[in-house]
Amino acid sequence: MQVTVLLQNIKIPLQKRERALCDKAALGTARKKLTLEGLTPLSLTVAKRSVDARKRDAIAYLYSVAARLEALPGEAVLKRLSAVPLADGEFRVTVGSEKLSSRPVVVGFGPCGMFGALVLAEYGYRPLVLERGAGIDERSRDVFRFHTEGILNTASNIQFGAGGAGTFSDGKLVTRKNDPLCQYVLKRLVEFGADADITVNAKPHIGTDVLKNVVKRIEERIVSLGGEIRYHSRVDAIREAVDGVILTVEGDTLHAGAVILAIGHSARDTYRHLYESGHALQPKAFSVGVRIEHLAEDIDRAMYGKDAIYLPHAEYTLSYREGERGVYSFCMCPGGEVVAAASEENAVVTNGMSYSRRDGKNSNAALCVSVLPEDYGSDPMAAIDYQRKLEATAFASALKAGGKPYDAPMMTVGDLLREGSGEMPGRIAPTYRGGACVPCDLTAILPSYVSRLLKTGICAFAGHIRGFDTPDAVLTGVETRTSAPLRILRGESGESPSVKRLYPCGEGAGYAGGITSAALDGLRTAGKIMERFSPLTKADH
């Protein structure tokens, strides 16, 4: 029986070669390794490619190559090849026989809800999607207006609308999950318009400009198969029915045969309803912090040295830990910008974004510090209050310092480390809303333990990336929406213990972090529904 194995750790020296030549060299190396073992591959393809910059004077591409073989080699051969069997990563499900009382509903059209709705539609379940925000085109106009004029639409913004928060955060697809379905997610994104290179790059990204069209095409696919998507449809209440779930949507009542609850991490009013209605929630750790900006060329030079000109912008992942608390980089955007991500009035929230070309002057990342349940009182709603207080304080601090509504408080790294404030940006211009930032003392906004660990972390990270602690690097606050601050509980079946046929999932329910992991959870949750229930017939409504 034919199998695919993954030959790992094939190193190809950069040597100023074009990437296509390095790809060809990696395939050639894999073929030689197989030939030495007496194996003839039916096919060879580049499976993963990354930059190995651990030694600046010997930067190389690191490859994994997928080889299709007639049969699986023995363990000794696999070990010599540094190879492992590779699962096909296809999404398959055996549909159940229980009848749905009405069509399934997906609440939220971010990555989790989008992929859940997509496979439900493709298997004949004709899902109804309820998204509280706007469609892509309207949402893009609302986001642009907020960026340029500071006019916030609380129903349509960077957090709410088609594609979820990920649509306006670069489309980074990195995940720590070692799941064969990750490749399925990437392949589907390519099918709907993403660059095919995302299936190969170890740190894939799509770019906000491309991701918008990908979301549109997935929407078209769902609708073409009998699904329906309703925008501006906020779910205000959820309760159990005898044969399904009753939803209150913008004042109207709707019956669902089953519900995928994929609300995202910023649907605070929905959290409040669930809490007050007695749904099973529990607080969890999350993190808060700031965005740090450097010149992209400085980060490139620090990580790649003289070879920086031959490589795409450098990316970093950094972390430092003290006891139960850590500080780490998150959502790093090479050649990107810091964006205004508020979804509530009189609050400042930051996030990072870049376009597919990643050709901006700055590189930015979140620097975040762990927040533990004991920091806010171990109550799910207290966690949200904790976030809100920081966002409101950031808004008020910028106003007090002479800014306009939704200007962001900023501070240079030099001021943070010297415990000063008021220094204006120099070489590195802040990108938040085109520079709508006001010098402030961020340590007066953030909890003391957050400020302390940010200082410690920046100094520690400078030991890995020379110049990371450069005094003119810019810090913009506050970053509070890194993940959901609570978890909506579910059992082994995926159902909520509070409401039968309600399936909490994704980032908003506390089970994912990022586009790919949220999409995976949406797929698996849809799979649980399909394994239980049969597809709808033409007579079903």
Using the structure block, give the residue that is written with the tokens 């070309």.
357
pLDDT digits (tens, 9 = 90+) for 425-469: 889 999 999 999 999 999 999 999 999 999 999 999 999 999 999
Q: What is the pTM of this model?
A: 0.95
DSSP 8-state code for residue 251: T
- The percentage of the chain sitting over the pLDDT mark of 70, rounded to a whole number, equals 99
Q: Which residues contact 164 (CB under 8 A, 6 or more apart)?
A: 108, 109, 110, 111, 112, 113, 114, 264, 518
Three-state DSSP string of 484-541: CCEEECCCCCCCCCCCCCEEECCCCCCCCCCHHHHHHHHHHHHHHHHHHECCCCCCCC
On whether both 166 and 229 belong to a single domain, the answer is yes
On whether both 119 and 266 belong to a single domain, the answer is yes
On whether both 360 and 227 belong to a single domain, the answer is no
Q: Could you give the strand order of the β-sheet that contains 83-85, starting from the edge strand earlier in sequence?
A: 43-52, 60-69, 3-13, 83-85
Task: Please give the average per-residue pLDDT across 135-145, as a whole number.
Answer: 97
- Given a cut of 90, is residue 424 above it in pLDDT? no
On whether both 238 and 374 belong to a single domain, the answer is no
On whether both 168 and 200 belong to a single domain, the answer is yes
Find the CATH number of the domain harbouring 49: 3.30.70
Q: What is the rounded CA–CA span in Å between residue 177 and residue 499?
A: 29
On whether both 257 and 388 belong to a single domain, the answer is no
On whether both 175 and 38 belong to a single domain, the answer is no
Q: Answer yes or no: is 181 within a domain.
A: yes
- Please report the pLDDT score of residue 15 as a whole number: 79
On whether both 192 and 336 belong to a single domain, the answer is no
pLDDT digits (tens, 9 = 90+) for 500-518: 999 999 999 999 989 999 9
On whether both 458 and 335 belong to a single domain, the answer is yes
On whether both 370 and 441 belong to a single domain, the answer is yes
- Please report the pLDDT score of residue 31 as a whole number: 98
Structural domains of the chain, count: 3
- Burial class for 232, CB neighbours closer than 10 Å (0-12, 13-18, 19+): middle
Answer with the one of 39, 57, 85 that is the final residue of a domain: 85
Work out the mean pLDDT of the chain and round it to a whole number. Answer: 95
Q: Answer yes or no: is 219 within a domain.
A: yes
- Please report the pLDDT score of residue 173 as a whole number: 86
- Please report the pLDDT score of residue 17 as a whole number: 80
Task: Please give the average per-residue pLDDT across 175-194, as a whole number.
Answer: 90
Q: Answer yes or no: is 98 within a domain.
A: no
pLDDT digits (tens, 9 = 90+) for 257-286: 999 999 999 999 999 999 999 999 999 999
pLDDT digits (tens, 9 = 90+) for 61-74: 999 999 999 999 99
Q: Answer yes or no: is 382 within a domain.
A: yes
Confidence of residue 378 (pLDDT cuts 50, 70, 90): confident
Q: What is the rounded CA–CA span in Å between residue 317 and residue 330?
A: 7
Task: Please give the average per-residue pLDDT across 339-352, as a whole number.
Answer: 97
- Given a cut of 90, is residue 539 above it in pLDDT? no
On whether both 324 and 250 belong to a single domain, the answer is no
Q: Answer yes or no: is 99 within a domain.
A: no
On whether both 145 and 10 belong to a single domain, the answer is no
Q: Answer yes or no: is 539 within a domain.
A: no
Task: Please give the average per-residue pLDDT across 232-256, as a whole number.
Answer: 96
Task: Please give the average per-residue pLDDT across 177-185, as a whole number.
Answer: 87
Q: Answer yes or no: is 123 within a domain.
A: yes
Query: Domain containing 27: what range?
Result: 3-85
Confidence of residue 423 (pLDDT cuts 50, 70, 90): confident
Q: Answer yes or no: is 541 within a domain.
A: no
Find the CATH number of the domain harbouring 509: 3.50.50.60
- Given a cut of 70, is residue 538 above it in pLDDT? no
